[in-house]
Amino acid sequence: MDDRSTASLWRLAAYSLPAIGLAMLTGPILVFLPNYYATEIGLSLGAVGGVFFLARCWDAVSDLMVGVASDKTRSRWGRRAPWVALGAPVLCLAVYMVCLPPDGVGTLYLLVCLVAVYTAWTAVQIPYTAWGAAISNDYKIRSRVFGLREACTVIGSLATVVVPFLVTGVPSPPLDQVIAIIGIAVIGVLVAAIPLALAFGPPARLEPPATSGAWQAIRRLPRNAPFLRSLAINLLFTSSLMTFTAGILFYLNAVLELEEVFLQLLLLQQLATIASVPGVLWLADRLGRHRALAAGCLGVGGGFLALAIVPAGVFLPAAAALVVVGCSAGALFVLMPSLAADAIDYGAVRGLGAQGGLYMSVFSLVSKAATAAAIGVALPALQAAGFDPRAPATPEGAQALRTICLFLPCGLLAVGGVVAWTHPLSRQRHDLIVRRLERLRRRAGVAAAG
C-alpha cells in the first residue's frame, strides 16, 4: 500500500478528529482556568502560576517516559494505538474534575487535578503525534497530514469560543459556565473521535525498529542539527504565544475594556487561523516550510504590536490585530511539527535513530517547558508590576500587560524568525534524504531476503 492510498483525505480526516477534543482542552487549561481559579475560586495569582508551573514540570518528565515507552510498545495494534485507547478514558475523568470543581477547593486540589490531566493528556498526545509523523515522509503529504490535524486543532480552539455561546445563548457567559461547558464538550468529542481515528486512520508506515536503548537514543539527539533548530523555533514561538495567551483576557478586559465581546474577539482569531491553512500549505510548497515559518513569526509579531496601540473600547482595531495574529500563527501551528518530522528522517539517514515517540516527546517537552515558564513567569511578573485582576486597571498595570504580554513576545518572535529562515532542511534537501532512505530500506530488504 503506497503513500497516496494510505493518506487519502477521508483517512487523514479520521486521524485528525481527536485533535479537536485535545485542542478544546488546551483552551480552558491555558486561557480560562488560570483566570477562573484566580478570580472565581479566589486563589492568588502567585499560587495559580506556581501550581501551573509545577504541574507542567511533571508534564515534561512524563513526556519522555511516554515517548520512550511507546517506541518500545509491541502489540497487534501497533505502537501508538494502545496508548491512545487506554489514555483517553483517564483523560476524560481528569477533565471533569478540573473543569467542574466542587465548592471550597484550594491550591492542593488544583495541583492534583492538573497533574492528573497532564499525565493522561501526555499518554494520548505523544503517541498520537508520533503516529502522524510516521504516516508518510512525502513532502506534500506530510504537510497535508499536519495541515489537516492542525486545522482540527484550530477548530477545537474555535469550539471553546462557540460552544459556550451556542449552549447558553449569551455572547459572553460567566466564566464558570464556560469552563463547565467546555469540559463536558471535550469529553464528548474524545469519546466519539478516538474510536474513529483508531478504526479508520492511516497506518504508521514509517516505524523502524528501535536500534538502541533509550539513553543512547537521547544522547544522539544533540547530533541532529535540524532537530535542534526545530526545537529552538518551537521554544521561541511557544514562549511568545503562551506569554501572550496568559495575559490576553486580562488585557482585553482591563485595558481595552472589551469584556462584553472578548469571546467574539477570540472567535475571530481562531477563524482567521483556520482560514489561513490552505494559504499556509501553498506558501510552504512555494517557499519551503522553513521560510513560511519565518513569515509567520513576522506576522504574529506585527499583530502583537498593533494590539498594543489599540485604543480602549474600540472593537474593530482590536479585531483586526487579532485576525493578523490568527492568520500568521497558522503557519507556525502547521509547519513546526512538520519540520520536526523531517528531522526524524534526517536522523534515520545519519544513523542517529528514528524513534518517533522519543523525538516527538522531546518536541512536546520543549513546548510544555516553554508554556510552563511563560505562565509561571508572566503571571507573577504581572502581579509584581502592580497589576491586580480584581481591581480597576491602573496605568502601571496596563503598561505591565503591554510590556510582558505583547512587547516581550515580539522580541522572541524576531529571533525565532531568523532561526526559521536559516533552517537547513529545505525541500530539495529533504527530497534527497527521502530518496536515500528508500535506497537504504531496499538494501535492508534485499539483505533480509538473502
The answer to whether the beta carbons of residues 211 and 73 sit under 8 Å apart is: no
Q: With bands split at pLDDT 50, 70 and 90, how would you rate the model's confidence at 448?
A: very low
Q: Residue 407: pLDDT above 90? A: yes
pLDDT given at position 449: 44
Of 281, 381, 397, the closest CA to residue 389 belongs to: 397
pLDDT given at position 371: 79
pLDDT given at position 92: 94
Q: With bands split at pLDDT 50, 70 and 90, how would you rate the model's confidence at 213?
A: low
Domain-located, residue 1: no
Mark residue 169 as left, alpha or beta (left: phi above 0; alpha: psi -120 to 50; beta: remaining). left
Q: Which residue in the block uniquely carries the three cell numbers 478540573? A: 98
Domain-located, residue 448: no
Q: Taking CA 420 as the corner, what is the angle to CA 419 and CA 426, rounded to the nearest 5 degrees?
A: 125
Compute the average pLDDT of residues 420-445: 80
The single-letter code of the amino acid at 182 is I
- d(CA 254, CA 394) in angstroms, rounded, equals 9
Q: Record the cell numbers describing residue 312, joined without a space.
A: 480602549
Higher pLDDT, 114 or 174: 114
Of 35, 413, 51, the closest CA to residue 248 belongs to: 35
Collapse the DSSP code of 429 into the 3-class scheme (helix H, G, I; strand E, B; otherwise coil) and give the result: helix
The answer to whether the beta carbons of residues 340 and 361 sit under 8 Å apart is: no
Q: With bands split at pLDDT 50, 70 and 90, how would you rate the model's confidence at 264?
A: confident
Residue 248: Cβ within 10 Å count: 22
The answer to whether the beta carbons of residues 197 and 15 sit under 8 Å apart is: yes
25-42: pLDDT as tens digits: 876 676 788 888 888 888
Q: Residue 77 belongs to what domain range?
A: 11-206+214-442
Q: Write down how long the chain is.
A: 450
> Is the CA virtual torsion 371, 373, 376, 379 positive or negative?
negative
- d(CA 133, CA 128) in angstroms, rounded, equals 9
73-123: pLDDT as tens digits: 887 777 888 899 999 999 999 999 998 888 888 889 999 999 999 899 999
- d(CA 240, CA 250) in angstroms, rounded, equals 16
The torsion angle over the Cα atoms of residues 72, 362, 81 and 55, rounded to 10 degrees, is 110
Of 46, 264, 409, 314, the closest CA to residue 401 belongs to: 409
Domain-located, residue 6: no
pLDDT given at position 1: 43
Domain-located, residue 359: yes
Compute the average pLDDT of residues 146-169: 84
- d(CA 44, CA 110) in angstroms, rounded, equals 12
pLDDT given at position 386: 79
pLDDT given at position 128: 92
Q: With bands split at pLDDT 50, 70 and 90, how would you rate the model's confidence at 295?
A: very high
pLDDT given at position 212: 53
pLDDT given at position 447: 45
The single-letter code of the amino acid at 73 is T
Q: Taking CA 183 as the corner, what is the angle to CA 24 and CA 333, rounded to the nearest 5 degrees?
A: 10
Domain-located, residue 370: yes
pLDDT given at position 450: 47
Compute the average pLDDT of residues 208-235: 78
Mark residue 288 as left, alpha or beta (left: phi above 0; alpha: psi -120 to 50; beta: remaining). left
Mean pLDDT for all residues in the chain: 84
- d(CA 193, CA 214) in angstroms, rounded, equals 31
The answer to whether the beta carbons of residues 290 and 426 sit under 8 Å apart is: yes
305-327: pLDDT as tens digits: 999 998 888 889 999 999 999 99
The answer to whether the beta carbons of residues 296 and 329 sit under 8 Å apart is: yes
Domain-located, residue 181: yes
53-73: pLDDT as tens digits: 888 788 878 888 888 888 888
- d(CA 84, CA 182) in angstroms, rounded, equals 21
Compute the average pLDDT of residues 165-181: 83
The answer to whether the beta carbons of residues 355 and 71 sit under 8 Å apart is: yes
42-53: pLDDT as tens digits: 888 788 888 888
| Domain CATH for 63 | 1.20.1250.20
pLDDT given at position 6: 55
Higher pLDDT, 139 or 279: 279
> Is the CA virtual torsion 22, 27, 28, 34 positive or negative?
positive
Rg (CA), the chain: 21
Concatenating the DSSP letter of every residue in 358-378 gives: HHHHHHHHHHHHHHHHHHHHH
Q: Residue 176: pLDDT above 70? A: yes
State how many domains the chain has: 1
- pTM, to two decimals: 0.75
The answer to whether the beta carbons of residues 444 and 339 sit under 8 Å apart is: no
Residue 435: Cβ within 10 Å count: 11
